[in-house]
A = this chain, B = another copy of it.
Amino acid sequence: MVRYYLSKTDVEDLVVGAAILGTGGGGDPYIGKLMVLQELERGRKIEIVSADEVDNDAFVVPVAAMGTPVVLVEKIPSGKEALFSLKLLENYFNRKVDFISPIEAGGINSTIPLVVGAERGLPVIDADGMGRAFPELQMVTLHIHGIKATPMAISDERGNAAILDTIDNYWAERIARVITVRYGGSAWIAIYPTFGKPYKEAAIRGSISLAIEIGRALRETKSAGKNPIDALLDVTHGFELFRGKIVDVQRFNIGGFARGEAVIDGLDDYKGSKLIIRFQNENLVAIRDNEIIASVPDLITVLDSESGRPITTERLRYGLRVLVIGIPCNEKWRTPKGLETVGPRYFGYNIDYVPIEVRIKGVSKP
């Protein structure tokens, strides 16, 4: 389908799938879902269009929330906040936006564009800038392809606003981050304004559909009484990494990020083994018995063992029984520029990136 309107079931599936792709970040899927369902109940429509439908000279602007996800849980958004940033950018350019887009996959950030699309009647492109979630503004495939993050708009729920125009995308991240912290920990952004042609070259296509497909696979296999995890690994081309019980969670809000780690004691086949997951908004590395078994840019997602639901980093807590899976990232991230931007070394891990499908072969599986 090149153009379709989201159903309520699509939204339910999408938030589950997006949270799995969100690798622990991108905010709480439940809040994101409520925001979108509210729009549908008001009779508004949300149109998803394939990237192929976007004219080369169309004006495309991704919209998102920025900040520590735990703050977004505490400050429930009204849905108008991101629209305000979009309007600021339209005023700045003196041009109406033709299409909006998610910048990343994740609970809130997959649904913000849907809310904006519903409110403004704007089509949402079935693509994003990550194919997953990452913590910093330059960590998008649009950056890899040379698109500027600025001019960007950044606003808060009070009505404070700023338009940033920086010399590079790292400076956009630095300045937007301190503003986000000063706003109280979360902000609403319209960013990477660009045209259809560069957008189509740079974005990761089909990511909204993929999220829906993942959510649907989980739902259908569960209702059929089958094992949803097998279906999940099948549709994502992922791998089971670990099963266990969370025995410790450390979390600090530092510099506008939720950083920390979770320690998981192995259960079942993994008994006697320990897995540590380190995160910065998103899960960055999975370390099993002192050996890294998965790292950025590949996806590491923690699921509730019983429900099969993804658990965002702010919801990790002692006692939860979890399943950890790894999913190969999009090929754009495996290029030299991609790995320079989001590889393990950027995050301070002094290791080479090894694709998860290669790593997993070397790990002794029970």
A interface list, Cβ under 8 A from B: 88, 92, 158-167, 171, 174-175, 178-179, 181-182
* Residues of chain B within 8 A of A159, CB atoms compared: 167
Q: Is the CB of A175 within 8 A of B166?
A: no
Query: Which residue of chain B lies nearest to A179 when distances are taken between CB atoms in the complex?
Result: B175
Q: Which residues of B contact A165 (CB under 8 A)?
A: 88, 160-162
Give Cα A175 to B162, complex, Å: 9
Copies of this chain present: 2
Q: How far is the CA of A88 from the CA of B166 in the complex (A)?
A: 12
Complex alpha-carbon distance, A161 and B172, angstroms: 10
Question: 28 A-B residue contacts at CB 8 Å?
Answer: A88-B165, A92-B92, A92-B163, A158-B167, A158-B171, A159-B167, A160-B164, A160-B165, A160-B166, A160-B167, A160-B171, A160-B175, A161-B165, A161-B166, A162-B162, A162-B163, A162-B164, A162-B165, A162-B175, A163-B163, A174-B182, A175-B179, A175-B182, A178-B178, A178-B179, A178-B181, A178-B182, A179-B179
Alpha-carbon distance between A159 and B171 when the two chains are bound, in angstroms = 10
A91 to chain B, nearest CB (A): 9
Q: Within the complex, what minimum Cβ distance (angstroms) separates A328 from chain B?
A: 36
The chain B residue with its CB closest to the CB of A177 is B182
Question: Which partner residue on chain B sits nearest A180 by CB separation?
Answer: B178
Residues in B whose Cβ lies below 8 Å from that of A166: 160-161
Additional 6 contacts, C-beta under 8 A, given A92-B92, A161-B165, A178-B178:
A92-B163, A160-B171, A160-B175, A162-B164, A178-B179, A179-B179
Measured between beta carbons, the chain B residues less than 8 angstroms from A158 are: 167, 171
Closest partner residue, chain B, to A159 (CB atom): B167
Contacts of A164 in B (CB 8 A): 160-162
Chain B residues with CB under 8 Å of A182's CB are 174-175, 178
Q: Within the complex, what minimum Cβ distance (angstroms) separates A351 from chain B?
A: 30
A248 to chain B, nearest CB (A): 33
Minimal beta-carbon separation of A164 from chain B (angstroms): 5
CB distance from A175 to the nearest CB of B (A): 6
A179: which B residues are within 8 A, CB to CB? Answer: 175, 178-179
Across-interface contacts of A175 in B (CB, < 8 A) = 160, 162, 179, 182
Residues of B within 8 A of A174 (CB): 182
**Contacting residues, chain B, for A181 (C-beta < 8 A):** 178
